[in-house]
A and B are shown apart, each in its own frame.
Chain A
Amino acid sequence: MFLKVLNTSLAAAALAITTIACSGGAPAPAATTPPPNAKRVDETTAGSVTGKVTFEGTPPASAPIKLDSDPACAQQHPGGLPPDSFVVSSGGLENVFVYVKDGLGDYYFETPTTAVTLDQKGCHYTPHVFGVRAGQPLEIVNSDPTLHNVNAMAKVNQSFNLGQAIQGMKNQKVFKTPEVMVHIKCDVHNWMNAYAGVLNHPYFAVTANGGSFELKGLPPGTYTIEAWHEKLGTQTQSVTLAAKESKPITFAFKAS
């Protein structure tokens, strides 16, 4: 009885504290009203930046991650989980976040209302690296028959740490401010990491097969393009794009 009373009191105190601490973390409506004289991209003159992120050298040894600390994870990957920090295919580096860092000026972009999904499946985040628009809903799903916590360690946005104890649980969160990158991790399974690039424009991509990427629909102008990798850091390039031009660029990361 005493334990229950104690627990109830502590829960009430925790609720009050959490309410104060976490106010502002709830999903906000994504749709915003554009200003009357909003400057929009002219689709008829838009071009693109395409390219590849290459990797030179030998990637670090990547033994499969042992999942013994949770039988539910180990059952899904009896041979261990391949690490996803260095994924190299055809000389290209995958999971690199490429985006327009600077040069867009004061263009207005509608904020999407459809959610980006971050799934926890096989005790692994899918996708491992992704982009999301500031104000766009992020739906976090637990597809695993085990518990996960989702610890978003934002530095600019509101950090959060939520628990998803039941398979099929979903939560929506919103990052309101641009931030590259927000590190998301599971403290239950310390190998689980994801990275979200939060931007207020749609010009971003994550390298996939062969390290390729494409930034479509860019208006003419001069831009700073940045490539971010979780272990190798960032590289930037300046690109000047004429109307309807498609310009190829290459980022070359080297083994450190």
Chain B
Amino acid sequence: MLWLHRYVKLVVACTVLLIAAGGMVTSTGSGLAVPDWPNTYGQFMFSFPLEKMVGGIFYEHGHRMIASTVGFLTIILALWTWKVDPRRWVRWLGVSALGAVILQGLLGGLTVLFLLPAPVSIGHAGLAQLFFCITVGLALFTSPGWMRTQSAADDATLRRLAFITTALIYCQILIGATMRHIGAGLAIPDFPFAYGQLVPPFWNAGIAVHYAHRIGATIVTLAILATAGHVWYHHRSRPELVRPATLLVVFVLTQVTLGAFVVWSGLQPLINTAHVVNGALVLSTSLVLTLRSHRRLFATAPARTVVRGGTASSGSGMLGRPGGERTQHI
């Protein structure tokens, strides 16, 4: 199980790289630099010459290559999880990761073939974050720390706060994706004001979405501060909660700063992409905090009882009890 956990962490790292690559595709306007799919200029994707990866092709084809790699890593992840993890819901989570990455690949292809229709591109961006969340969840569920802390005290307020915060962050990411894919990143060209005022003096769809993203940022920041404050005040002795809560505050402050620089720099691609990637880190950190705050609920959930050769089937044996007793993995 420990090696599976390490492998999932590798998939998580590759997914961060994939999100960065996807961010660069949109930020550099390279989404249609390779007009065909799944081939690249009529050639088999993996045999496309490196020296032809010029201009926008570098970003688009590079994104496809990294995506294919993550796809293959996810196939192995699903098979490995299915084989070694005794928890049925974790095994199905591995399968859902595979389903998500396949659907994500198809959405990526469709958005190219249909010339970047905004709903498909936004769906592609939204599903990317969900896939990332699944891999982060799998990394958490297979971690030694998760196994150890099943008896942690429950806090219903924290559960609600963390869940709402994570949901708000995901909604905010969807608004951000909409803003990017309808080309409204500079619909309000100044920051922190909007056309020199607190509220834009005139409106259109682009300004509305852009302004919604700014209002969303304020709400999300307040929600994160409330959640982190709750953790710091009520759970200061629980490092598994304090660490992600603190990290969450750091990430969200970084995110607001990056958002400001995105506007001030006129959508500079690297800053824009850093904003996208950091947004994913905000979401995943909040997810970890949410899942850890729900730890006791997982402990009371129906679990599959496994008896294999008198010892726990877990590779790490963390929950295994000697003597061939039944071992529950939850």
User: Which A residues form the contact surface with B (CB < 8 A)?
Assistant: 3-4, 7, 10-11, 14, 17-18, 21, 69-72, 146-147, 149, 151, 153, 159-163, 165, 187-190
Contacts and interface: CB of A to CB of B under 8 A. Distances in A.
Interface in B112-129: 113-115
Contacts of B110: 17
A149 B34 CA distance: 7
Given A147-B52, A147-B57, A188-B54, A14 B36 contact: yes
Contacts of A69: 54-55, 58
A11 B41 contact: no
B33 A149 contact: yes
Contacts of B114: 21
B113 A149 contact: no
Interface string B2-27: 00000000000000000000000000
Given A17-B113, A70-B54, A7 B45 contact: yes
Contacts of B44: 4, 7
A17 to B, nearest CB: 5
B28 interface: yes
Interface in B21-54: 28-39, 41-42, 44-46, 52, 54
Nearest to B42: A165
A229 to B, nearest CB: 21
Contacts of A17: 110, 113
Residues of A contacting B: mostly: mixed
Contact of B56 (A11, A153, A160, A189): A189
Contacts of B35: 149, 151, 161-163
Nearest to B46: A3
A160 B115 CA distance: 8
B42 to A, nearest CB: 7
B109 interface: yes
Given A149-B34, A188-B55, A189-B56, A163 B42 contact: yes
A161 B54 contact: no
Nearest to A149: B35
Contact of A187 (B33, B36, B41, B46): B33
B39 A188 contact: no
A17 B36 CA distance: 11
A163 B34 contact: yes
A147 B29 CA distance: 17
A71 B32 CA distance: 20
Contacts of A18: 113
A147 B109 CA distance: 20
B113 A72 contact: no
Contacts of A14: 36-39, 109, 113
